[in-house]
Every structure is written in C-alpha cells, then in structure tokens.
Amino acid sequence: MKNDKEWGLPRSLTLRTSFAEAESDGPVELLTSAAVNEWYDQKHGKPCGYEVKLIDSLFDGCPYAADGDGIEHRCVKNGRTRNRIQRYLCTGCGRQFTPITGTIFDSKKIPISEWVGFIVSLASYESLTQASLTNMNSKSTGRYWVLKIFEVIRGCQDNVILGGKVWIDETYFKQTESGLVLREGKKPRGLSRNLFCVATARDSKGRTVLIPCGRGKPDGERILASLGPHIAKGSRIVHDGEKSHSLLISSLGCGEEVHKTAETKGLPDSQNPLEPINAVHRFLKKFMSRHGGFKREDLAGWMNLFWFVFSCYGSKDAAVNRFLNMAVKCKKIMRYRDVMEKKDKTRSK
C-alpha cells in the first residue's frame, strides 16, 4: 500500500477517525480519506490571524480574581500558546491564562469563527437544525451551543426598564404532546395549564421585555411580578383591558389607555393602537416557529435569546460583537458531557 507521500497527500492529513482511514490504496478510498481529513482540519484547525487578534482583544483581567480575596491581580504578558494566543501571568496569584480561560470557549477545539456563523444563523431566524447544518455541526452540538448561549445571556433582561408610553400584553406557547395535562382523558379548553404564558412589554423607544410567567392565564400578581420590575413608576400603560393588568397599573401609579380586543379586531396594523406590542408577538412567533420542538423548561432561555436577537435587529455585527463580549465576561466552563448528560437525565424522569 502506498503511503501519503507517494500519493502526493500532505502529511497533515493524518488518520484521526475510522472513517478517515482508507481501507485500500484505490484512488476512490484515498480521495475519501483526504476529503474527510481536510474537513477535519477546517473544523479543528488553528485559529486564523483575525481570530487571534479578536481573542487577544477580549482580555479582561485575571479570570481567577475574586472579590475580597485580598490579592492584587496584576497581569503581564507571558508569551503565546502554540495557537499564537496571547498568554498572561497574574503576578498576584501566580496563575497563567489566556483571554478565554474560564469561559465557554475554554479548551475549545472548534474555532470561535464557527460561533460567529452560528450566531448569525440564529439571528437570521434559521432553525437550530439548519444553523447546525450550515456550520457543519451535528444536531447535538447545536443543542449544546444553545445551552451555552443561554448561560452567557442569562439575566440579559434584568436591568431593562421601560418608561413613558408602554404597551403590554401576553402571548402563549403550547405544551408538547408528551407533557400535556389531560382532564378526564381530554385536553382542557381555553387558557389551561397546557399553555405557557409570556408577559411582554414595549415602550415608545423600542425597549422590550419578554418574561415567562407560568402556565395558563395569569392573575394580577403574576403580571406584577413579571413586568413590575421592568416598568418605571408613573408610566402610561396601553393595554387591551385585561383585569390582570389592573394590579400592575395601580401598584406603579401608572396612567392607562385601554383598547379592548373587540374594538381593535380586524383593524389594519397601521391603525391598530396596540400594533407596537403586536409586532413584537409577530416576530416572536416567527422566531419560535423555527424551534417548535424546544424544551418548555428552557422557555426563559429562548425568550432571552429572542430578546437578544430582537434588540440587535438589522445588525448581525452588533449581535456577534455583543455576544462575544458577554461570553468572555461569563466565567463558566460548560463541558459537553456534563451538560448534555445532565439534561438528558432530567428530561427522562
């Protein structure tokens, strides 16, 4: 059997998987081997110069620094890794690290540029399956990356405060077939526990929040708990007259503008006084229709992801920039085996 050199194949195409190893020295088998190894190199290659520059720019101090540890964490450059990433040494704690140490990119085997493509795909309203295929990843890798994204953007809506004129409403997502709650063997009608409620609000400046608030039709206390922290006192609330909104309005000392559903039904969008919040729901339904099989226990994560994409709407560069900066500041390592096995065990119960 001829070796790689005799066939003109570069030495970098080593046999790293059983599929990549040619079973014979025929031209078809060797071409297959070369193609698989070339794909492997693309997916697991060294970062390009632009990626090295990007990672170096994400330096944010010593990742081991903790409040109240009494150590002065002064960092100095300490050479580069074999992938040319800048290495640092903390003269306080004596540890070495790179800008991505302790983040979701720690010990990465796939270039961060793949994350850029993945974020752009999701921001383009592609399904998780399609986003994975676009980036030549498996479906399980796509699910794993989404869980990482959820962790990075966790709490992204916490400090959003709406003011002035604020439109509020609720929207619902159906329970999956496997999780349906039946009543005498039948599905309950109306806004039952088989629907997951999301309280939404948007102000005249375009600021938006989407907060899950339990199953079924929410009462005033649930609406207040969900939207109360995000609406400034004295705002003017525009709503459809639902009784559950009353407690929120009175508790925050807000004025109100009521447009009942019977009055707005059939109106063109341009004439509907509730259009600002209806538009949010349309985009949300379009986005989530691409992920119809999402796990309902991850609803908060999906709402954060939609908020993240929606707040950067029209600028994929802004979405990528914001995510990468948030990812580096999110000091949490998520190993595939730990995360996916834990999720699978939880869902099987």
Return the H-helix or E-strand segment holding 268.
none
Q: How many helices (H) and strands (E) does the chain have?
A: 12, 8
| First-last CA distance in the chain | 52
Distances (CA, A) of 300 to 12, 30, 156, 334: 44, 48, 11, 19
Fold of the 165-311 domain: Nucleotidyltransferase; domain 5 (3.30.420)
Which residues, 6 or more positions from 24, have their beta carbon under 8 angstroms from its beta carbon? 1
What's the rounded Cα separation, in Å, for the pair 151 and 227? Answer: 22
What's the rounded Cα separation, in Å, for the pair 175 and 145? Answer: 24
Helices 49-57 and 112-123: crossing angle in degrees, nearest 10, is 80
How would you write the pLDDT of the chain (349 residues) with one tens digit per residue? 444 444 343 433 333 444 455 556 777 777 777 776 676 666 555 667 888 888 888 888 898 888 788 888 999 999 998 888 899 999 999 999 998 888 888 766 567 777 888 888 888 899 888 888 777 777 888 888 899 999 999 999 999 999 999 999 999 998 876 666 666 666 666 657 788 999 999 999 999 999 999 999 999 999 999 999 999 999 999 999 999 999 999 999 999 999 998 889 889 999 999 999 999 999 999 999 998 788 889 999 999 999 999 998 768 888 888 888 888 788 777 777 777 765 555 554 4
Q: Are 237 and 220 in contact (CB under 8 A)?
A: no
Strands 165-174 and 96-97: unpaired
Strand order in the sheet with 96-97: 75-80, 86-90, 96-97
The residue type found at 44 is H
Strands, DSSP E only, in 10-164?
75-80, 86-90, 96-97
Which residues, 6 or more positions from 116, have their beta carbon under 8 angstroms from its beta carbon? 320
Secondary structure in 3-state letters for 12-47? CCCCCCCCCCCCCCCHHHHHHHHHHHHHHHHHHCCC
The domains of the chain are located at 1-44, 49-152, 165-311
Tell me the pTM: 0.76
Q: Are 49 and 58 in contact (CB under 8 A)?
A: no
What secondary structure letter does DSSP report for 64?
T
Q: Are 257 and 185 in contact (CB under 8 A)?
A: no
Helices 112-123 and 299-311: crossing angle in degrees, nearest 10, is 90
